[in-house]
Amino acid sequence: MKLLIAVVQDKDSNRLSNSLIAEGFRATKLASTGGFLRSGNTTFLIGIEDNQIQHILDVIRANCKVRDQLVTPVSPVSGAADSYIPFPVEVQVGGAAVFVLPVERFEHF
């Protein structure tokens, strides 16, 4: 058995949760900030059999990989709002950092 600790951007957290449940994996979620990813993320703890590691890594990558997204900025609160023409800009979203840790013993009471 292994313990996966996965830090996932909040944007992808719910989608990953749903995919993990659909695939029969059980994850514990902790609210976290900063670090490997831009702030606002979720740390998943997932106990997993050795032969399921690649499967779950595929699920995490499918839901969380870094990609570009078009975002339309909101208009400025002050200044010449009349002459402001918002247009979408590309920002990077998503991403996950996954640690696979050895487990010496697992107990379920």
> Which chain residues interact with its own copies by CB under 8 A?
2-3, 5, 7, 17, 26-37, 41, 43, 45-47, 53, 57, 60-61, 64-66, 94-109
d(CA 98, CA 62): 13
Residue 9 near residue 39 (C-beta atoms within 8 A): no
3/15 with CB nearer its own copies: 3
* Binding to Ni ion in span 6-35, by CB under 5 A: 23
Shortest Cβ 26–its own copies spacing (Å): 5
Shortest Cβ 87–Ni ion spacing (Å): 39
d(CA 11, CA 41): 8
- Closest by Cα among 12, 28, 25 to 55: 25
19/32 with CB nearer Ni ion: 19
Shortest Cβ 80–Ni ion spacing (Å): 46
Q: How far is CA 72 from CA 50, 81, 83, 95, in A?
A: 43, 15, 16, 21
Positions touching Ni ion (CB under 5 A) are: 23
